[in-house]
């Protein structure tokens, strides 16, 4: 809490399945209260790992191919300003090697638009996947993958647009919304009774804690608990207990056949991703080396307006940790970096018994 977060919850699960839980800070800065250990929270981009699992299950079933192009499933959707869906495969989308513009960079790219007043005015505004992709298409791509072998692309740049498109492709393949596929393929089989997709709801279930954001140019924290936030790129709410169950089931082979799990864990360098310069990104999940864990850890992480989700799991799925921090800082890079560093260290100590 020395880094300035209002509150956090964390749960670590050991190889025997025993849980250790802790909370710090307060439930609400004005009203106080102990932060609930079973708090619901927005997991942000940790959603991408769920969506990648659903896509890879479809690959295992022979209904979708990692080499399929976007145009094969969504003809004409990725087009304009040099963007070309015939040059981008499902693998490129899952691995962030597509070169596609990130629609959230466009949506939130102007610091003058990132104000408490604009947040309050737009927090109930929902955007369709088609609108999100169209926003991305207003910019030129960072690159186009090699037309002869696009799946071999190793240039990496994080783009939420990639997973909006994966959600659209899942719906085109199955005839069902991506949310339904996540529920039927992951949430229900694993008994994740506290994991849900929010759709256009701006409300997180109780119990939870107040989420706070420091906007650029301000020193105070704004309550950003209410918001319509994300789709297939970041629209899941969960708890630390359910996140640990999901991560372990992923790594121990419960959710994916060996071939698809191997594909998921085939990585490219992602030095700009959270977790450090040695981070590598697979298909919806990342890896980084950590002292005390011979095989490093697999993780993702997610940030939304006011909440940070962090996770880590050993390659065999035996030890895992999930944490939620209820403060984000867009207006103070130094304090944001200190908070991120403290969170990573907490997670790594729990999983790898770092000194």
**159, 135 contact by CB (below 8 A):** no
Q: Quick one: average pLDDT of 184-198?
A: 97
pTM: 0.98
Structure tokens at 207: 């119990």
- For the chain, list the domains and their CATH numbers: 7-352 (3.40.710.10)
- State which H helix or E strand residue 83 sits in: strand 83-84
**25, 8 contact by CB (below 8 A):** yes
The upper half-sphere exposure of residue 352, i.e. CA atoms within 13 Å in the direction of its Cβ, equals: 23
pLDDT tens string 214-273: 999 999 999 999 999 889 999 999 999 999 999 999 999 999 999 999 999 999 999 999
**Rg of the chain's alpha carbons, rounded to an integer?**
19
State how far the Cα of 29 lies from the Cα of 7, in Å rounded to an integer: 9
pLDDT tens string 287-311: 999 999 999 999 999 999 999 999 9
Does the pLDDT value for residue 213 go beyond 90? yes
pLDDT band at 354 (very low <50, low <70, confident <90, very high): low
196 phi and psi angles, rounded to 5 deg: -150, 155
């Amino acid at each position: 809490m020395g880094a300035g977060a209002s509150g956090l919850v964390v749960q670590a699960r050991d190889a025997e399945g025993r849980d250790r839980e802790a909370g710090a800070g307060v439930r609400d800065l004005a009203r106080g209260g102990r932060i609930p250990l079973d708090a619901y929270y927005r997991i942000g981009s940790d959603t991408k790992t769920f969506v990648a699992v659903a896509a890879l299950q479809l690959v295992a079933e022979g209904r979708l191919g990692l080499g399929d192009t976007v145009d094969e499933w969504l003809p004409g959707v990725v087009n304009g300003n040099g963007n070309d869906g015939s040059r981008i495969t499902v693998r490129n989308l899952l691995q962030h090697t597509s070169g596609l513009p990130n629609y959230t960079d466009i949506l939130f790219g102007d610091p003058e638009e990132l104000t408490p007043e604009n947040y309050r005015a737009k927090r109930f505004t929902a955007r369709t996947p088609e609108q999100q992709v169209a926003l991305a298409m207003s910019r030129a791509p960072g690159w186009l993958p090699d037309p002869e072998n696009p799946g071999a692309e190793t240039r990496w740049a994080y783009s939420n647009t990639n997973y909006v498109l994966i959600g659209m492709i899942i719906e085109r393949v199955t005839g069902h919304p991506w949310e339904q596929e996540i529920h039927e393929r992951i949430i229900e089989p694993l008994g994740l009774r506290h994991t849900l997709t929010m759709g256009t709801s701006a409300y997180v279930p109780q119990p939870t804690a107040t989420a706070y954001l420091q906007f650029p140019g301000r020193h105070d924290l704004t309550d950003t608990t209410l918001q319509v936030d994300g789709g297939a790129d970041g629209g899941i709410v969960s708890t630390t207990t359910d996140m640990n169950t999901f991560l372990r089931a992923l790594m121990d082979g419960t959710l994916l056949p060996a071939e698809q799990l191997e594909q998921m864990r085939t990585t490219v360098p992602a030095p700009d991703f959270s977790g450090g310069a040695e981070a590598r990104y697979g298909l919806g999940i990342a890896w980084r080396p950590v002292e005390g864990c011979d095989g490093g850890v697999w993780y993702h992480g997610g940030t939304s307006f006011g909440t940070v989700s962090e996770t880590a799991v050993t390659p065999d799925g035996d030890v895992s940790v999930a944490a939620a921090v209820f403060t984000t800082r867009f207006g103070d890079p130094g304090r944001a970096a200190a908070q991120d560093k403290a969170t990573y260290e907490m997670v790594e100590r729990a999983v790898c018994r770092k000194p």
